[in-house]
Amino acid sequence: MRGFAAFLSWCALVAASLGGLSLAGCTWRRAPVDPPAPVTLELLVFNDGFHSGFIVPYDRLGIRLDLPRAVRAPVSQARFVEVGFTEQGWALWTDHSTGHVLSMLFRTSPGGVALRWLPTRERSAVDDAPRQVYRLPLTAQGEAAFRAAVLAWLDPTPRALIPVDDPAFVLPGSTRRYWLWRNCHDFTAEVLAAVGLPVQGSLVRTPSSFAVELERLFSAMEDFGLTRIEPGTWPR
């Protein structure tokens, strides 16, 4: 009996000790988890089978140009802007000849960051409807990375080149020259990589190969349950 009483006393001592630790806040606890950063910008990523780029709210793009009077009215009514990379001669309709297209396979030509003002998030009715449209929610860090990536392609002293037939479209110069190995899909891919998506390297991005790449990226994003993107958040 004496041994049993000693055992009960030991149990009582252990229980009292654990209770004291609990009251003192010395129990094991999970480290606090910071709430996820809120979404500050939702981009639309589009690919129409020929051209790709982004649609972003105009007031969040962070690009301000000294625009000619002819385009100030459309810009003042713009709520969104389409952003992409293009070849200047092609975009301005100065040369759509077969020879010019073939020349892009062998030499570079002046590029431009194409900006088109849009009243809604839809592209112009005269364009082909995008075959792929994806929503890309960004945190403040992701938004800053997007803006920095776009500005890296923009000439620091942009000169707006305006097609006469489209006052809602401007083409500032680019720091990059255009050719087969640096086309609009490379621009879109580089910006996506900058905001945090695991874009793989590619020697030549064609419309079809880039369509597969976009589908892979956004399907994986859905599979991982990612609801916001910023640099460093993609699962490894």
- The DSSP-derived string for 96-121 is --HHHHHHTTTS-EEEEEEEEEESSS
The strand pair at 80-87 and 52-57 is best described as: antiparallel
Which is more confident, 11 or 150?
Answer: 150
Which is more confident, 176 or 15?
Answer: 176
Q: Is residue 15 included in any domain, yes or no?
A: no
Q: What is the pLDDT of residue 93?
A: 64
Range of the domain at 175: 36-223
Looking up tokens 């810009």 gives: 75
For the chain, what is the largest distance between any 2 Cα atoms, rounded to a whole number of angstroms? 106
Confidence of residue 69 (pLDDT cuts 50, 70, 90): low
Q: What is the pLDDT of residue 121?
A: 80
Each residue's pLDDT tens digit, 137-174 = 999 999 999 999 999 998 877 566 666 567 778 888 89
Q: What is the pLDDT of residue 24?
A: 43
Q: Is residue 215 included in any domain, yes or no?
A: yes
Is the pLDDT reported for residue 213 higher than 60?
A: yes
Is the pLDDT reported for residue 29 higher than 90?
A: no
CA neighbor of 53 nearest in space, from 43, 61, 63:
43
Range 61-64 contact pairs with CB under 8 angstroms and sequence separation of 24 or more: 61/147, 61/150, 62/147, 62/150, 62/151, 63/115, 63/150, 63/151, 63/154, 63/172
Distance CA 61, CA 75 (A): 13
Q: Is residue 27 included in any domain, yes or no?
A: no
Q: Is residue 173 included in any domain, yes or no?
A: yes
Q: Domain count for the chain, please give it.
A: 1
Is the pLDDT reported for residue 116 higher than 70?
A: yes
Q: Is residue 31 included in any domain, yes or no?
A: no
Which one-letter amino acid corresponds to residue 220? A
Q: What is the pLDDT of residue 7?
A: 44
Q: Is residue 8 included in any domain, yes or no?
A: no
Distance CA 178, CA 166 (A): 22
Considering only 43-52, 106-115, 136-145, 187-196, which range has the smallest mean pLDDT?
A: 106-115
Q: Is residue 231 included in any domain, yes or no?
A: no
Confidence of residue 120 (pLDDT cuts 50, 70, 90): confident
Distance CA 161, CA 110 (A): 12
133 CB burial (10 A radius; 0-12, 13-18, 19+): middle
- Could you give the percent of the chain with pLDDT greater than 90? 36
Is the pLDDT reported for residue 11 higher than 70?
A: no
Q: Is residue 61 included in any domain, yes or no?
A: yes
Considering only 34-38, 88-92, 121-125, 232-236, which range has the smallest mean pLDDT?
A: 121-125
